[in-house]
Amino acid sequence: AADKIRLIPQDFFAELCEQIIQHLNHKIPGVNTAELCQRIQTSGVDINIGDLAKIANTLSFLFSTAARNNLSTEELITTLGSGVSTLPKHAVQVIRHVWNEQGKAIALSEDAGNMATVGQFVDMKWKLGVAMSSDTCRSLKYPYVTVTLTVADPSGQITDKSFEMTIPQFKNFFRQFKEMASVLETV
């Protein structure tokens, strides 16, 4: 991963570290790797989302371990150990700076929401559409609901999942959620 870090321009690397720290602090639900990757690629850097995700995971682990052990900035840099010499200088600089500013403030644990074993729901976007025509039926008038769920997976990466429902499916979907809400009320 170290050689891929080399590719990321300093300001994007700083933004990545910022997002990771904010995620660890529960200020944001997750790191928007897909969106960040797109912007890095647009700036002309050839990096794929898999590599960026690995780097994000590594940094997240680094920061959360450092927080748990209450490491000072110098201790953190030392911990990077042999990795430091292969990490580009600007990356080490960013890590040092970010940790100095915000590292001590990371409030780990003491929060029920911290036990992420499955994806955490972040947001839902929807669209109600009517398919007018297709290659199989000239006159369709087929209503459907499209939903995009934004989910933060256990490692903190944010992904979108889109799918379609027929109207009867949607009505069932809605009914199930009302059920869940009422059960949540009563337990």
Partner 1 sequence: MAALGDGDFAALQILLKAPSKDAVRQLCQECFSSPPAALGPLAQRACPGLAVSAQEAEQLVSALHNLTRHVVYRGFTRAEDILCLFPENFHQNLKNLLTKIILENTSSWRNEAQASQISLPRLVDMDWRVDIKTSSDSIARMAVPTCLLQLKIQEDAALCGNNPVVSALTVELSKETLDTMLEGLGRIRDQLSAVANK
Question: How far apart, in whole angstroms, are the C-alpha atoms of residue 61 and residue 183?
Answer: 36
- DSSP SS3 for 163: strand
| Dihedral in degrees, nearest 10, Cα atoms 35, 36, 37, 43 | 110
Question: How far apart, in whole angstroms, are the C-alpha atoms of residue 32 and residue 8?
Answer: 16
Question: How far apart, in whole angstroms, are the C-alpha atoms of residue 91 and residue 85?
Answer: 11
Question: How far apart, in whole angstroms, are the C-alpha atoms of residue 60 and residue 95?
Answer: 12
- DSSP SS3 for 181: helix
- DSSP SS3 for 156: coil
168 makes contact with partner 1 (CB under 8 A): no
| Choice from 42, 82, 85, 109 touching partner 1 (CB under 8 A) | 109
110 makes contact with partner 1 (CB under 8 A): yes
26 makes contact with partner 1 (CB under 8 A): no
28 makes contact with partner 1 (CB under 8 A): no
65 makes contact with partner 1 (CB under 8 A): no
Sign of CA dihedral 127, 113, 104, 9: negative
Piece in contact with partner 1 (CB under 8 A), picked from 4-12, 32-40, 81-89, 178-186: 178-186
Question: Minimum Å distance from CB 99 to partner 1?
Answer: 22
Piece in contact with partner 1 (CB under 8 A), picked from 34-42, 43-51, 78-86, 161-169: 161-169
Q: Give the other-Cβ count within 10 Å of 101's Cβ.
A: 12
Of 60 and 87, nearer to partner 1 (C-beta) is 60
Question: How far apart, in whole angstroms, are the C-alpha atoms of residue 179 and residue 14?
Answer: 44
Question: Minimum Å distance from CB 43 to partner 1?
Answer: 30
Of 89 and 183, nearer to partner 1 (C-beta) is 183
Of 46 and 187, nearer to partner 1 (C-beta) is 187
120 makes contact with partner 1 (CB under 8 A): yes
Number of residues near partner 1 (by CB under 8 A): 54
Residues that bind partner 1 (CB under 8 A): 109-126, 128, 131, 134-140, 142-146, 149, 151, 161-165, 167, 169-174, 176-178, 180-181, 183-184, 187
